[in-house]
Each structure stands twice: as structure tokens, then as C-alpha cells.
Amino acid sequence: MLLGCVEGCHWLATNLLVTLVILHVVASDSSNFNCVAGLDSAGATVPKGDIVLQVGSSLEIFCNLNLSHEDAQGQNASSLVFYRNDKKVSSEFVEVINATTIRLFKEKPPASTDMYYCKLEGPKDLIGICLNMVAIGFKPQEVKDFSCISHNWQNLTCRWIKPENPIKTTYKLHFYLPGRAGKRLLFNCPEDNDKTSELKKKLQKNEELCFWDLYSEPHYRQPYEYYYFEMRGSNPLGEIKFDPIKFHHYSHVIPSPPEKLTVENTTHNSAFLTWDVPFPMQIFPPGVHTRMVYQSTYDNNERWHVANTSYLSDHLANQTYHLAPLSYANTLYDVRVYLRSAFAVGDDKWSHYASVTFKTPPTVPGAPPETVIGSFEVIPDAGTRDVYVYWRQVPPTLHNGDKFDYKVISVKENGIERYLEYNHSSAYAKFKGLTYNTYEFSIVSTNIVGDSLTKSVVHVPTKEDMPKEPVSFTKIAFHDGIYELSWKAPSESPNIESYTIFWCLNGRDRPYQCNGLLNWTVVPANVTLKNITVPDDSKIYQFAISANTKNASSGMVWASCTVIHNKVVDKMKSVWINRIGSTFIEVGWKLECSDRIGRVEAFEIGFCPIVSPRETACKEPLQTIKLEPSERQFHGNVTGLRPYTTYMVNIAILTNNGKGTPSDPLFNTTMEAAPEPPTNVTVTEVTNSSMTVHWIPPAAMNGVLRFYKIHYSFRHTDLYRKVETKNVTSFVLDNLTSFTKYKISVMACTVDCSERSIPIEVRTRIGNPGKLETPQAKFLNDSQVLVNWGFPKDGERGGKLDFYEVRVQQFDGAGNSTPHVFISTDNVSQIPIPECSKDHSRVKYTFWVRAVNRGEKNESYYGPWSDPGETTCYSSGPTLAVKITIYVVGFLVVTALCIAVACVGKRVWKCCKEMQQVEVKLPPGLAPVGDKEKDQDYPIDVTWTSGDHDHHLTGKVRTSADEELLLKKKEKKEERHGRNPSGDSSGCSSGHESVSSSLTSGTQISSDSGTEVDQRPPSPDGVFEESTPWDRASLRLRKASHRSTPNLSDVEGLSSGHCVGAWSSTGYISMPSSEEVGSGSGEGTSYCRVGLEASPMGPTGVSQMQQMQLPQPSLGKGYVVLPSIPPSTSSTGTLSPQLQHPSAASAPVLSPVSQPASHGYVSHQLPWASPKESPNKGYVMAGELGDMANKTSPSSLTGMGMRMDEDQSILDRVQEEKVQALKVPEVQGLRVMSLTDTLKRGILFLFLLHLMNKQMTPIQR
């Protein structure tokens, strides 16, 4: 809201300002409505006239319409527009203020100079209102490239370039001189004169100057070494005075050229020159430096020699200079002299030059013609020989005079001076009819002055001393003046030390003699290939070679087999075609100049397809392949060609620097081959049984088209149609299967077929489905039949199988009924059959089924009816009499079974009752003292730690009266578990076994194999409900079948060392008999160790068990106390139950236990504590190890044990008497079930009979 208020206030203020401006204009002068005074217009702009703005300012122009003007009648501000130059200003920059005024506003426009027009859009055309020239630029800026030059110390010209600025800016230059009144006396730039006007005509864009001379006002001040310049710039945006420029006057003086430059005297290698320094530079305080350069006619035009002028004085008005040494006699020289201020720096401060030319006088030639070993040629004749003596011509720079020539001044034959006539040219001398003796030729150069001071000598050996010439000397010319020379060493001259290669610039090749400049190079004897680069590749060069020994040479042998200017002189003509295939052409050729075989690096075969047999031009770029040369016969295979295409083939020679001229072309056509695949395969007019296939013929047919193959595949079946009409590019595939996806591809065939085109997938339209298999029917109940059938085969669906029609017809003895049709969307349907439940007569039902597809236009496609499926309706089950009989028989069987179970249970109960009445007689000293003590309970309190839980066992040790309670609770426990925990199969156990059970507590001895831990749930009868940790597992040992007394040696998993003494066992842990005690080897040797392994020795050498506070045996009343045995070093055996647990805990920490009560009971101090008081009153629990076994390793358990008391014989007698008194016949193989279990099984049996009765309803098939 605040932003809107601000914008509204801004608009209001703008309108108010414009209104005030307009009212002010109208009130002041009505003529202000005119754009320009004296010009009648329909309005005006504000501000008027030119507008000058600095870059960064905003442009604002108001255009006011004078409604009283005749051109503005009926118009308003909406018809006003602005133009920038000739382009209309966008409406985003124009705002309508009121009915007569518009506003142009541009924020920070760029630097420019433009004309803005305000115009009125009339009915027909635009009417001009007013205009403004708008210049947007900068304040005056500093000028560029300011420099001043004084010409010959007679004037001063300063130049600078004004920076670009759309605003017209004026610059004024002032200078002042050093001294007291320097800055107070400013000298302006003089007014223009003829000289200034002439200079300004040559100025560049934005360039300005000031010119002072001796006649200007102010005039040029020569004596001052320094000037101080000030530049001031001004424009409508302001005036700026720039920093003063200190100008070194004397270093910017450029003298005029020297005057009166002349040559006073010359020799063949020197000259004397004089000149004058121009006025007033003769009195220039710093003086002037001199620079002299010269060149001869033999020098390159760009090369000038600089003379040493450093010793010349800077203040002399007349100068003399001795120019020496000059290189060439009889030569024209050009000399140039420059002047420069002694304070100036840079080559641009030199004056224009003064020049003079002269010619040096002649002298004798500077050198004789050069020769080298082997620079001669011998041409044999009948008995004589002609000898050509070659030399390198003396360069023109050493001719040193006119009438230059060469001459042989001496000929010696076998060392004797001879005068022989000869013919000579500028490159050789020819001597005819010489003998085969040795010759020595002396050659000099001569001119108008005389002969050269030295001479050159050529030796020609005798025939016998002359080595053989090199053979097969060949040259091949390339571009850029490169020649490849090759030769073979002479076979009969093994002492060759070097070869001399000659080349002679000549107008014509051999056999014409060389008349041009001869050059040479020497190569070692092991080189037989050499590249030579000549300076001018447009000229013809002759090449020769000589073989040299230490003292002789074979003379020159000129090249005969030549390739000149990259053209074979006798180009390859023996070229032919060996074989032609569909993709290759084999070319053969033979070189005519076969001596060069070893120097040809490769052969290049060029080939390309031609436009047509009548137009042999290549229609594609020429391709080439390179082949290595072989012996005289050559051939190469050009591969990768297109079949059935006419090719041009040629061949050229390649060396390491290029190739020669190709041979004449050969034309041949490759064989036919498989074409390329057709392209752009499409399918149209698709129905449920046909489609039309279109394609584009192959781009490369590679032969003559024979036919097309159209492949269409579906469901792993590939079929094709053959189209033998050549010009056809479409085909109709019919007899297709409806609603089937086909893969369509096309092949073109010539002599062979192409690859398949890219396959496309097309599905045919929906059609009639196929016939279904015979339906299967099954009665679900009396009134419904389940009918199912299979789907059509994969190729016979014809569509999506939208639904099925099931036709049902009933057949009975009376006649056929009307068929009924049912609709199903799945291949199974439940059909109601109400007739089956009305009577029990046989009724036959027949079923037919067919599939139906829906087309794209919702039309239906029906498949044929399947073969009929039949089923028969029967009556609905057995009669009422049959059902009653089944129920009665079942009840009688169940009743008899219950009676039998009850009888057996009663007999077992009696047996157990009689066993409980057997009295245990203890030896003297162990019997209870009185009835009070007999019935008195003695508590036991044991606590142990297992895993993360502490277990507490409480109980009471009683006399033999407690044994009865133990047996009763044991019976309840047996009924709860469904079997005898002690392992007795009869359910009854002897008194000895009961005592053993009471001694071993939770330890279960069964007939199972091995020692295992039984997992048991909490006791439901309450006997052990508070001792859950004791009920979780029990230690079960093997029961020996051939013994009736306990013997730990038979326990599986225990070695003979675990229990000491010959004990007998039926699977219980018990005390040894008196005989076994008597047979012991010593005191303490007949005992069992049950419990934890001895703890590791502590730091003091005492184990944890020894550190515990263990109770001492007390025999106060004649009873035996069985404490836990502390660790001993005795070699007695240990009981090691096979208990494994993943996390074997360390030995439990035993809590201190109080001293046992001395009431005559057999007590055992457990090495662990019980969390709760045990309810098992009247007996001692000796080891429910379930939880401890899961937390403790077997090695820890073996440390636990029971040790016999001192009076071992008394215990042996007590045990023997109990065994004899409690022996009862064993009942084998009988397992007792409780009455509750019997009733449960009876009820289950009746329930099963009921289910069987429900399922006995016959299924009509």
C-alpha cells in the first residue's frame, strides 16, 4: 500500500510540475507554443533547442500540443509521438501526461548524438510539432598521442588526437618557457596561415595541430632546450585544464639532409666522400650525429652495409669520410648519408638522406675457376679419347673488369709441357684425340687488366689407373628444386673412397653439353642415394657422378634415365588388369627403366568410379593406395570397391620426395554382388488377414535386380514371399493370422541376396478366434456345475478374447430341453443346474463353449463351438438309515476305546502306589532320631548366576517321609509330560530309582541316545512352578539295556576317567556300592565330579574355586555332607556333559553358602545360587542345568563334581540296601495316557467321523 501511495504521489507531482510549466509558458508569452520563434507550429517541446547531457544522466523531453492551432483541431495528446532520427520511439519510453502533453523519458541513455522529433499523427500523415538535437557525452577528456617535432631547428609542430565525444569539445594549447615569469607568460597557438592550412589538409580524423616558426605570432623560440605545454578542453559540460607537459626541445629536432655530398677519389676497393651540415644545424648546441649506408649492384636491394661514422665530429660544418674496404672492383656503389640531433633517440629522428653513386676501377680477376677431383669426362674413340675439362665458373663479383674469360695456360702429358689446341666455353674446355697417358691441365681466369693470380689444376689418369664408372645413375626431379640421385657402385673397382656428384644449370638436358654454373658435392663410398636441392626448380639441371680412389677418378658419368619436372620421360606403358572381382581389381605393371628398381620406394595406384562408360570423369574424389615394390614384375590389389561399378585405375612411381606422372588410365567394371538392403520399409492397409508392404529399392543395387524377398515371422516361425517383378516396390501379404504380431523385412537379390532390412513389427487386426478344447464339468454342489476349458492355441486367439459363451443343454429321458447360453470373461464358469436337487433320477448335461473377440468398432467375432462336454446329475447322498448306522457304530467304538484306556490307567496307578509304599531302610547312624526330626523340613538355599539372570533355588531336605511327596509330585509331573521323565517305559520306577531321582534332582535319565538337554515348559501342576530355570532343560544320559544298576562308565560321551570306581548304572547318577568302594585304590578315588571346571589360577596361584568360602563337612550326627569339590591336582576323572553353547560364559561366581545343618541329611552345596526358593520340599535338587548349560561351556561344567565323604562304606551299604528293597519287575513297552488325553482323542475321533460323513456326498461325473 505504501509503494502504491509513493507511486501515486510521484505521478501527481509530475503532472503538477508539467501543468505549472505549461501555465507559466502560456502566461509569459503565447508565442512559446511555437517550436521556434517566427515559425507557426501546432505545439512545442520543453526544453527547447539543443539538449546536452552527460553520460549517466536521464533524458526527459515534454511535447505540448497547442489545441488552438488548426492542425491540432480534434486531436489530443494520444496522437503525439516521438521519433529518434527516423525511428519511432517505443511506447515504453513515452508517457501521456494529460490531454495536451506527452513525456519522453530514458534513464541513463548511452553516449550518442541524435535528433528527437515530436510529431502529430494526423488522419493522413505525420505533422511535425518540434525537434531537439540531443548530445549525450562526456566532459573534456585528455588528448591522445601528443607529440612535437622541430624541423631543422627552424619551426615547431605539435600534434594530438581528440578523444571521441558526442559533445563538441574545443582544445586549446598553450606553452610557457622556463624562468621566473614562465607560467605568467602563456603563449597561444598561432592563427592559421598558408603553412598551417597546408598542414591541416593532411590531418587524420580528430587530429589537430599547432605550428610555430620564426614568422608566426607568437614565434618559435629556438634557444630554449625545454618547453612547458598546457592543454585546456571545454564543452557545454565544463572546462578542464590538464597537467603541464615538459617537452625536451633539442631531442625532437630533425635536421635537413646533408648538403653537397660528393665523391672526391676512388680505388678498386675504397672511396673518399665529403658533405656539408645544413644551416642552422651547424650551430645547433647539441651537435648532430651522422649515419652512412651503402650497397653495390651485387647486393640485395634490401641489404645495406652500414659504415662506421662514430669518429666523426658532431659540430663540424664540413665532413670528410674514407669509405673502405669495398668488396667489388669495377662495380657501381650507392652511398646514403643521414643526420640526427645528438640528443635524439630512435630511428624516426634521422633526417632524410643525401645520396651519391660511383663505380670502382677494375683489377685482375679475384679467383681462378674452381675444379675438383673427377671434374672431367672421357669419351673413348678408336685408339684415342676426347677429354672435357669442367670447372666452376668464377662468380661475377670476382670478374673485377671487362672482357672476362677463361683459358688453359698449361697442358702436361706425362709431366712434359705440351701445346694443344682446344675449344672452350664458360664452363668447360674440350681436347680431342688425346692418348691414354696421364694429363695435367692448368686453368686461369682473365679480364682486361690481366690473368688471375692463381690457377686450378685437373688430373686425368691413364686408362689403367682410371677406376670404373658408377652404373645405373638416375635422377628423379621433384617440386621445390629437390632431385633424388641414385646409382650403383662399380663392381670391378673395390678401392672406391668417395663419389663426386655434379649438377650443372643448363638450358637443355643431356646430350647437350653443360654451359652453365657447375656445382658439386663429395659423398662417402657407402652412399648410393643422395638428394640435391637446387636454387631454381624452374630451370633444367644436368647431373653427373664420378667414382674416386685415393689418387685417381673415373671421370664424370651423366644421368641417362631421368624424370624431369615431376614427369616421367618415358612414362609407364606396361600396365594391365590381372583379375576382377565384385570388390577388388588386381593391377599389374612393368617398369621400362628397370635399373631404378632399388630406388623406388613405392607405387601409388589411383582409382575412382566414373560417371558412366561414355563419361570417364571421376564422380568421386580420386583415392590412392601405396604398394611396396618387388622384383621386375609388379602387381597390386585394389580392394574395398563397390560391386557392379566401373572404375578408372592408374599407377605412378613414388620416391621419398614425391611421385611421378601417372600411367594412362584403365577402365573396368567390378562383378555383381549382393545389394544393400532396401530402406524405408512401411506397412499399410492392415486387416485381420492381410497387409501391404512398401519399400524403397537399395541405394546400391550392386548388379542386376532379380527379385525381392519379403520375410514375415511370428512366434519363432519365419516365412517369406518372393516378388519377381523388378519394378514393384509394394506387395500384399495375405492369409495371415488375425491379431498376430509379425516382423516384416525385405531383401533384394541379384546374384546374391542382401541383408534383411531393419525389421518392423506390425500386428494384424482382430478376427475370429479358433476352436476351443472340449470343456470339463464338475459339480460343486446340487445346484452348481463348475465348467472350465483351455484357451485357444497361440495362433488361434484372433484377439484379446474379450469373453466366452457357454451353451448348456439338458438331456433326460423325456426329451431335450432348450439350450441356455451364459457369458464368462474367464476360462472357468459356475453354471446353475436347478434340476439336480428336485429328484434322484439321472440327468445328462451337455456343454459347449466358444470365444468371442471385440473389434476396434465394437463388432463381434465369434469362434466355432467346441466339441461338447458332458456330465450326469446323481442323487444327493446316502439315505437316513445309512447315516444312523454310521453314527451308532462310531459311538460304540469310541466308548470301548475309552473303557480300555481307563482300565490300563488304573492298573498303572496301582503299580505306582505300591512302589511308593516301599520303605527305605537306612544303616545305623543314618536313621532319624525321632518323629520330630523325621518330619522336620530342612531348608536348602542355593543361588547361582547364569548369563544376565541370577537364579535362586530354595527347598527343604526331608527324611524318608518326604520321599512319598516326591513320588506324588513326580507322578503329576509324568502325567503333565505324557511320559516317564526317568526313562522307565512302564511309568513306574523302583525305589532305588526314586532315591536316585531325588539325589539327581532335575537330571533326567532316559533311554534316548547320548546326553542331551530337554527343553521343557513350565510345570502346569505346580510342582516346579517356581523353579522355571530348573525346568527348562535336564541332563539326559544313555540308559544301558543290559544292566540294572547305575554305572557311569556306560554313559555315552563320558570317558572312563570321569567317574572313579566300577559303578553300575541304568542311566542315573548314583553313589557307588560297597563292593566298588572296597575295590578302590585309595581314599577319594571312588567319586564323580559334577559341576564347573576348575577356574584358572589367579595372580596368587589360587583358583577362584579355592578362594570361595566353602562349607566344611560336619559329621555331628553321623550324616554325610557332599560339598562341591574344590579344584584339585588329582588325576581323578571328571564328568564332561556334551553341552555346547555359542557364548560360553566364564565360570559362575559362587556366593558364600552357610554351613549345612547337622541333622543327619545328605546335603550338597551347589556352586551356583537359585533366584527363588524351590517348592520341591523333601529332597535335594542336584542339578537342573538347563539355563546354566546354555550359558556355560562344557569345560566349565566339568569342574563341578561331588566328592564322597570320609565314611564311604556307610553310603555304599545304604545304597545297596535301597537297591535290594526297591527292586520291582519292569514293564516294558507300555506307555500310559491320562484320562484327559483319552477324552480329547475320543472327541477328535467323533469330529473326524462327522467330517467324513459330510464328504460322503457323491460327486456326479
Q: Answer with the residue of higher pLDDT: 1082 or 726.
A: 726
Task: Of 33-47, 618-632, 829-843, give the lowest mean pLDDT range.
Answer: 829-843
**What is the pLDDT averaged over residues 37-59?**
88
Tens-digit pLDDT profile for residues 190-224: 988 888 888 888 888 889 999 999 999 999 999 99
Where residue 1041 falls among pLDDT bands split at 50, 70, 90? very low
The Cα–Cα gap between 496 and 1178 comes to: 134
- DSSP assignment string, 693-755: EEEE--S---S---EEEEEEEETTEEEEEEE--TT--EEEE-SPPTT-EEEEEEEEESSSB-P
What's the pLDDT score for residue 589?
82
Write out the three cell numbers for 879.
439315505
What's the pLDDT score for residue 1210?
57
What's the pLDDT score for residue 1259?
40
Question: 852 Cβ partners below 8 Å, 6+ apart?
Answer: 769, 801, 802, 803, 804, 805, 860, 861, 862, 863
**What is the pLDDT averaged over residues 975-986?**
40
What's the pLDDT score for residue 1032?
37
What's the pLDDT score for residue 970?
46
Name residue, grid cell 507300555: 1230
The Cα–Cα gap between 1036 and 1051 comes to: 10
**What is the pLDDT averaged over residues 1154-1180?**
40
Judge whether residue 1229 has pLDDT over 90. Answer: no
What's the pLDDT score for residue 1026?
38
What's the pLDDT score for residue 132?
92
Judge whether residue 456 has pLDDT over 90. Answer: yes
Considering the entire predicted model, what is its pTM?
A: 0.45
The Cα–Cα gap between 324 and 272 comes to: 9
The Cα–Cα gap between 1001 and 38 comes to: 140
Judge whether residue 1162 has pLDDT over 70. Answer: no
What's the pLDDT score for residue 180?
77
The Cα–Cα gap between 983 and 436 comes to: 142
Where residue 845 falls among pLDDT bands split at 50, 70, 90? confident
What's the pLDDT score for residue 508?
80
Judge whether residue 326 has pLDDT over 90. Answer: yes
Mean per-residue pLDDT of the chain: 75
Where residue 1143 falls among pLDDT bands split at 50, 70, 90? very low
What's the pLDDT score for residue 702?
87
Name residue, grid cell 614384375: 633
The Cα–Cα gap between 93 and 642 comes to: 69
Question: 788 Cβ partners below 8 Å, 6+ apart?
Answer: 775, 776, 827, 828, 829
Identity of the residue numbered 262: T
Judge whether residue 297 has pLDDT over 60. Answer: yes
Q: Answer with the residue of higher pLDDT: 907 or 1028.
A: 907
Tens-digit pLDDT profile for residues 245-276: 999 999 999 999 999 999 999 999 999 999 99
Q: Answer with the residue of higher pLDDT: 703 or 1076.
A: 703
Helix (H) or strand (E) holding 404: none
Task: Of 414-418, 527-531, 678-682, 975-979, give the lowest mean pLDDT range.
Answer: 975-979
Judge whether residue 521 has pLDDT over 60. Answer: yes
Residue 561, phi then psi, degrees to nearest 5: -95, 115
Question: 343 Cβ partners below 8 Å, 6+ apart?
Answer: 248, 250, 251, 286
Write out the three cell numbers for 121.
499523427
DSSP collapsed to 3 states, 451-474 = ECCCCEEEEECCCCCCCCCCEEEE
**What is the pLDDT averaged over residues 1181-1209?**
41
What's the pLDDT score for residue 457?
95
Judge whether residue 1076 has pLDDT over 50. Answer: no
Give yes or no for a contact between 785 and 709, defined as CB atoms under 8 angstroms apart: no
**What is the pLDDT averaged over residues 509-516?**
84
What's the pLDDT score for residue 26?
41
Q: Answer with the residue of higher pLDDT: 927 or 478.
A: 478
Share of the chain above pLDDT 70, in %: 67
Helix (H) or strand (E) holding 1104: helix 1104-1107
**What is the pLDDT averaged over residues 65-74?**
85
Task: Of 280-284, 649-653, 709-713, 1125-1129, give the lowest mean pLDDT range.
Answer: 1125-1129
What's the pLDDT score for residue 839?
53
Judge whether residue 1061 has pLDDT over 80. Answer: no
Where residue 1236 falls among pLDDT bands split at 50, 70, 90? low
Where residue 406 falls among pLDDT bands split at 50, 70, 90? very high
Where residue 835 falls among pLDDT bands split at 50, 70, 90? low
Distance of CA 778 to the CA centre of its chain: 65
